[in-house]
Chain A
Amino acid sequence: MKNTSKLVSALALAAMTSTPALAGPDEDQLWVNDEIQMVTEVAAPAHMENIDTLYSGWRYRSNETQAIQMDDFENPGFVGVENAMVSWAKVEGDAGESCQSCHGDVESLKGVRAVYPRWNEAAGEVRTLEMQVNDCRVTRMSAEEWGYTSGPMANMLALISSVSRGMPVNVAIDGPAQATWEHGKELYYMRTGQLELSCANCHEDSVGLMVRADHLSQGQINGFPTYRLKNTKLNTVHARFKGCVRDTRAQTYKPGSAEFIALELYVASRGNGLSVEGPSVRN
Chain B
Amino acid sequence: MKKIAMTVAALVASAGLASAGAVAPGDVAFAEDGSVAQSLSGAAGDVENGRKIMNKGAGNCIACHQVTALSHLLFHGEIGPTLDGAADRWTQAELRGIVANAKNVFEGSMMPSFYKTTGFIRLGKAYTGKAHEGEVMPLLTAQEIEDVVSFLMTLKEE
Contact = CB atoms under 8 A, between A and B. Distances in A.
A122 B2 CA distance: 70
A51 B103 CA distance: 24
A211 B64 contact: yes
Interface string A244-274: 0111111110000000000000000000000
Interface in A174-231: 190-197, 201, 205-206, 209-213
B21 interface: no
B110 A193 contact: no
B121 A193 contact: yes
Contacts of A212: 60, 62-63, 75-77
Contact of B75 (A205, A210, A247): A210
B106 A245 contact: no
B63 A211 contact: yes
Contacts of B66: 15
A194 B79 contact: no
Interface size class of A (residues with CB under 8 A): 35 or more
Contact of A211 (B77, B89, B106, B122): B77
A251 B120 CA distance: 11
B81 A201 contact: no
A209 B77 contact: yes
A201 B110 contact: yes
Contacts of A19: 78
A1 interface: yes
B78 A11 contact: no
A4 B94 CA distance: 11
B132 A197 contact: no
A140 interface: no
A43 interface: no
Contacts of B139: 194
A249 B121 CA distance: 10
A8 interface: yes
9 contacts: A11-B82, A196-B113, A196-B121, A211-B79, A213-B74, A242-B129, A250-B122, A251-B124, A251-B129
